[in-house]
Chain A
Amino acid sequence: MIAFILGRLWQSLILLVLVSIIGYCVLNLAPGGPLSQYSLMPGMTKEALDRIAEQMGLNRPLYVQYVDWAWKLVQGDWGKSFRDGRPVLSVISSVLPATLLLMVGSTIISVLIGTVIGVYSAVRSGSVFDYVATVLAMVALSVPTFWFGLISIYVFSVKLGWLPAGNMMTPGDGSVWDVTVHLIMPSIVLALVNVAIWSRYMRSSTLEVLGQDFIRTARAKGVRPRRILVKHVMGNALLPMIALAGMQLPALIGGALVTETVFTWPGMGRLFLDSLGYNDYPVVMGILMFSAILVLLGSLLADIISAMIDPRIQLN
């Protein structure tokens, strides 16, 4: 097991290097370059731009810049934001709680709703409910997240006035209740896709468990169906679900970006878009790397859990 984990860690490390090269190339292929932020300043001259380029080390060959950047990255120096001069890591970590809150909120919702729908579909397999759930899950996977957000705002904020249309808190308030109210709509919107995936997954794993011998035995013994469900089905399905969560991480982070935009949620996705708009290359790069690391950790976790569940995987 330890050898397996070490092996996977090693692979992840190699991946990270590849990821950083891809990310670095993407950003540095841009025509404007990091300098365009300065070019609109009053009285900016070509000479001054050249000097700034030199100060920033942008006049060196690309691979030298990359190695320099990557070496600093390893040492924990992710560069400084062009906008406010703060270290990139602290810029990211300052918006991270908002994104995590949104992701956790949406995960709780999708796990709760997804489990209920999934288990019920499996138990009533072939029923109208099951069928409708299947269809709705497919539709949910097809609805653009931002559009679902817009429609929710239209219904619940514009028409009904029940929920705030955006932001994380009322200015000057920020109490737990206040944040919760603001959290409801975005987290539901973000949860939509995951409810679909989750419920499908719960359905198939419940069906699998229900078909196993020990369940039939338990039933024959007269154990009540609900207890069987809760104890065996849930117990057996839980670990795979964590693995699934690991696999779903890129989609969740991507979805968070779009959701944050629609609901002006002050998280990492919002920061990413703002930074793109202001040509804040170090932050854009930082977020790309950071999300890639999260994703890699997620899939590492997923793999380890899968290996724990299914010993055969270790052999591969």
Chain B
Amino acid sequence: MTKTTGFELTRRRALQMMGLAGAAAFASTTLGHSVARAAGTDQEGRVIIAFTGEPTVFNPHKPHIEADEAVHAALYDTLVEIDEKGEYHPVLAETVPTIENGGISADGLNWTIKLRDGVKWHDGKPFTAEDVKFNIELLVNPDFASWRKTGHELVRDLKVVSPTELTFRLERPYAPYAAILASTPIIPKHAYDGITNLNEAPFDQSPIGTGPFKWKNRIAGDHVELEANTEYFGDGPHLKGAIFKYIPDFSVFYTQFKTGDYDLVGIQYLMPDVYEEARTLADKKVELVGNGYVESISLNMKKPQFQDPKVREALYLAVDKGGIIDALYYGTMRPTESFMPQESFYYNPDLPKHEFNIAKANEILDAAGWAKGGDGVRAKDGVRLAFTNSTTAGNNLREQTQQFLQQTFKEIGVEMTISNLPPAVMWGDYWLKSEFDSVIVGLNVMTGADPECSDYYKSTSSPATGGVGQNTWVYANPKVDELLVKGAELNDAAERLAIYREIQSEIRKDLPFLPLFQYQAVRGYKNGLEGIRYNINSRSDTWNIREWRWAKG
């Protein structure tokens, strides 16, 4: 079903450069495509991007959804960015700091960041190192409801050396910090002058950035409009404006794409069932693009039903992955055994392959002493092999998957009851404090492009057992704990590779969740739109919107 293209292979090879040391090789590369000063005269046309979620949060440091990040990428710049090949490029920074160029000390602890000179905010004020300092401090400020503290909270001795240079020290070596900086847009310090309540700044409604596009207006519930920043420091923008349109319904979303009401499909993308038809549309370029989310049946390891590894193994055998992917998802998803995207350099391709084998599953359960009762449901030591499965109510494809699983699980004497919940209930304590039995969920556990995932798999990351993090499976494996600590501290990509591969194989063996597939999105745009580069290393559909342009003529 899924075709691997050469494009992906080169991407994988290039992703070897994703770690810090890897980035060193590109230290001398300046932002090739954006180094040229824009004349600010060649903007033409505008692009309309549609989303099925509404962008509503324009302060990138506040809690937000992915659709918001598409707007952020157009409004703001980051210090550095990661392209689709995993290469780092400087944006607001003058160079990518590395150990080789002295930007990072050999122990990975002391950082010096040199900034581009002459960059101006949309309101004309100069961008300086004070702004960067302010951002990092704001993100960890306890009075600010911050989107992400991870990484930033390790920063110590943050000093502005000159308007274009700042230095800081990390409390301990933390390899993912470069990836975190690549997904941290910089907002202006002066927008917070005189603001006492950090959570309610006027800036939230009328954002100011350094990015290729400026804020124009917003019609709530409908769209956000941006216009070209003709003073942009880099190359571009080549469009007069960009409209971020909200279309809440998938069928309307697709209809309007067909009719050409908008130009580019944004996040949540098209439904799998329209892929076959969409790829044949005459004036559109439609393709499957992988993203970092992995769908799984997550099990609560605290529950007595799931404590026997044989049960988890048998359940996995009774999952008809092929049926789910080929029929329900129209073959658009890629089966996976890992929690890590297959594009990642750290992905382990040698994990044991899943098979769908009811007979074998039954054998395993029989051998493990789970005997069928009068009602056809297995039990052992007073524990019935019965559990609930939950996901967000109203998600049709997941609901179909659940009902399909229910049927094959029944064949191995397992009773699965569907208990879906409204989002408000589902992702609250029910999920975080591990009150569920099992859940179908799509997760991206990476830290940006970095494989660091302690928040999810460390035994100390379960809120249900008093921990901090999102290990809602209550998964505990001392070996994985140890590896995770090591992996986050090492800087060498090759050394890290071995560690993260081992983590994947441990987790595949333990099966705290039954991996279903890695998401691939049906994405597309109107012919004539140039410069679109899908980038799995960025959560923004518009990460390089400054390069986009309409074909001449």
Q: How far is the CA of A85 from the CA of B198 in the complex (A)?
A: 12
B355: interface (CB < 8 Å)? no
Interface contact tally, CB-CB below 8 A? 131
A170 and B424 contact, CB distance less than 8 A:
no
CB distance from B256 to the nearest CB of A (A): 7
Q: Which chain B residues lie closer than 8 Å to A42 at the CB level?
A: 148, 150, 447, 455, 470
A167 and B56 contact, CB distance less than 8 A:
no
B428 and A36 contact, CB distance less than 8 A:
yes
B249: interface (CB < 8 Å)? yes
B220: interface (CB < 8 Å)? yes
Q: Which stretch (A3-11, A132-140, A264-272, A296-304) binds chain B?
A: A264-272
B371: interface (CB < 8 Å)? no
B148 and A166 contact, CB distance less than 8 A:
no
State which residues 80-131 of A face B: CB under 8 Å. 80-81, 83-86, 91, 94-95, 98
A33: interface (CB < 8 Å)? yes
B243: interface (CB < 8 Å)? yes
B219 and A94 contact, CB distance less than 8 A:
yes
A60: interface (CB < 8 Å)? no
State which residues 32-58 of B face A: CB under 8 Å. 46, 48, 50, 54, 56-58
Q: Which of B147, B204, B219, B248 makes the CB contact (< 8 A) with A85?
A: B204
State which residues 433-472 of B face A: CB under 8 Å. 447, 455, 463, 468-470
Q: Which one of B143, B223, B423 has the highest number of Cβ atoms from chain A below 10 Å of its Cβ?
A: B423
B428 and A39 contact, CB distance less than 8 A:
yes
Q: Which chain A residues lie closer than 8 Å to B220 at the CB level?
A: 84, 86, 91, 94-95, 266, 271
Q: Which of A39, A84, A270 makes the CB contact (< 8 A) with B204?
A: A84
Q: Contacts A30-B424, A32-B424, A84-B57; is A270 near B248 (CB within 8 Å)?
A: yes
CB distance from A96 to the nearest CB of B (A): 10
Q: Contacts A42-B470, A83-B57, A171-B261; is A94 near B221 (CB within 8 Å)?
A: yes
A31 and B48 contact, CB distance less than 8 A:
no
Q: Which chain A residues lie closer than 8 Å to B427 at the CB level?
A: 32, 36, 39-40
State which residues 137-151 of B face A: CB under 8 Å. 142-143, 145, 147-150
A83 and B56 contact, CB distance less than 8 A:
yes
Band of interface residues on A: 35 or more
Q: Which one of A39, A42, A171 has the highest number of Cβ atoms from chain B below 10 Å of its Cβ?
A: A171
A43: interface (CB < 8 Å)? yes
CB distance from B389 to the nearest CB of A (A): 19
Q: Contacts A32-B424, A276-B424, A279-B424; is A39 near B56 (CB within 8 Å)?
A: no
A46 and B428 contact, CB distance less than 8 A:
no
B478: interface (CB < 8 Å)? no
Q: How far is the CA of A97 from the CA of B147 in the complex (A)?
A: 33
Q: Which of A48, A171, A278 makes the CB contact (< 8 A) with B50?
A: A171
A165 and B251 contact, CB distance less than 8 A:
yes
> A38: nearest residue on chain B (CB-CB)?
B63
A266 and B424 contact, CB distance less than 8 A:
no
A37 and B468 contact, CB distance less than 8 A:
no
Indicate with 1 or 0, residue by residue over B408-444, a CB within 8 angstroms of chain A CB atoms: 0000000000000011110111111000000000000
In the complex, given contacts A32-B429, A278-B423, what are 12 additional A-B residue pairs having Cβ atoms less than 8 angstroms apart? A30-B425, A31-B425, A31-B429, A35-B428, A39-B431, A43-B455, A55-B145, A84-B204, A84-B220, A264-B247, A277-B423, A277-B424
Question: What are 28 A-B contacts defined by CB distance under 8 Å?
Answer: A31-B425, A32-B425, A32-B429, A35-B428, A37-B63, A38-B145, A42-B470, A45-B468, A47-B468, A55-B145, A83-B56, A84-B58, A84-B204, A85-B57, A85-B59, A85-B199, A95-B220, A95-B221, A157-B255, A165-B255, A167-B256, A168-B222, A171-B48, A171-B243, A172-B48, A172-B243, A270-B248, A277-B422
> Closest 4 CB pairs between A and B?
A32-B428, A36-B428, A266-B221, A84-B56
